[in-house]
């Protein structure tokens, strides 16, 4: 009996020792502590960890994995940079400018379509310096082998495209304006379009209030364009919506690009 009691006591003592050791845990492991005194523990740091720097391409808020290779930046004359999406290869480059309430993502699907057609396509995220952006965009595409450039813009992007077409050298091959106002900020498309000799394509919705009135003014001023195309849509759609709601108009734009620039 004594031997048994001694063994039992030993078992109990061993169990207690194991339990106490388990409660102490590994002082170097957070998961090993279940409570108890922390008087000797180092105080937790309250300094936030720095955010990791982005190491991948900018997805512009819309690019899929197979489009990320087209994410790029465009250097502007004032030392600033803006984001853009560049896709496709070929001797003709098309530059897209977006309207106020959108960004470059609004043009990505159509840029991909033109890339499939054999064009270079560049959609720019505007910093509201449209002319400088388009001058820089034309330079970039020409460095990548484009011999001809076509500008396409929606709303204020259309105004910027018309204004830039008057100053880009060598001259662009054609310009398309969707609902572009005659003036926007310091952009004066009305004065610019009067000097344009390349093909010009103006598209507007008849019920798009003052934008229709401005399109009429632009049409009348474009007297030197060797191929003026003017299309009025029987609706109130504006800018990109003209192409979204009327796919035939986008097909007309594609045909205009091919006719004007090859």
Domain ranges of the chain: 80-261
The first and second tokens of residue 170, run together, are 């060598």
Give 80-261's CATH code, choosing from 3.40.640.10, 3.40.50.920, 3.50.50.60, 3.40.50.1820.
3.40.50.1820
pLDDT score of 127 more than 70: yes
- Nearest partner of 238 among 208, 209, 216, judged by Cα: 208
The mean pLDDT of 152-160, rounded to a whole number, is 98
Mean pLDDT of 173-196: 98
Note the pLDDT of residue 24: 39
Joined together, the tokens standing for residue 111 give 């840029």
CB 54 within 8 A of CB 81: no
Residue 50 pLDDT greater than 70, yes or no: no
Can you give the pTM of this predicted structure?
A: 0.79
């Amino acid at each position: 009996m004594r031997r048994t009691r001694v063994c039992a006591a030993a078992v109990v003592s061993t169990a207690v020792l194991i339990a106490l050791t388990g409660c102490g845990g590994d002082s170097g492991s957070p998961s090993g502590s279940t409570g108890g005194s922390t008087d000797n523990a180092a105080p937790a740091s309250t300094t936030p960890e720095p955010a990791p720097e982005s190491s991948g391409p900018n997805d512009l808020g819309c690019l899929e994995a197979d489009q990320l290779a087209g994410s790029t930046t465009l250097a502007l004359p004032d030392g600033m940079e803006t984001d853009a999406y560049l896709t496709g290869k070929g001797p003709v480059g098309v530059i897209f400018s977006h309207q106020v309430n959108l960004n470059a993502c609004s043009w990505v699907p159509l840029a991909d379509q033109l890339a499939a057609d054999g064009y270079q396509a560049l959609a720019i995220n505007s910093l509201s310096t449209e002319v400088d952006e388009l001058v820089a965009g034309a330079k970039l595409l020409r460095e990548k082998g484009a011999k001809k450039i076509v500008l396409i813009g929606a709303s204020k992007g259309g105004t910027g495209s018309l204004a830039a077409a008057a100053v880009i050298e060598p001259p662009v091959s054609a310009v398309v304006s969707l609902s572009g106002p005659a003036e926007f900020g310091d952009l004066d498309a009305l004065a610019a379009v009067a000097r344009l000799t390349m093909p010009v394509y103006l598209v507007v919705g008849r019920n798009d209030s003052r934008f229709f009135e401005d399109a009429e003014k632009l049409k009348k001023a474009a007297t030197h364009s060797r191929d003026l195309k003017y299309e009025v849509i029987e609706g109130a759609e504006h800018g990109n919506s003209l192409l979204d709601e009327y796919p035939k108009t986008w097909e007309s734009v594609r045909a205009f690009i091919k006719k004007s620039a090859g």
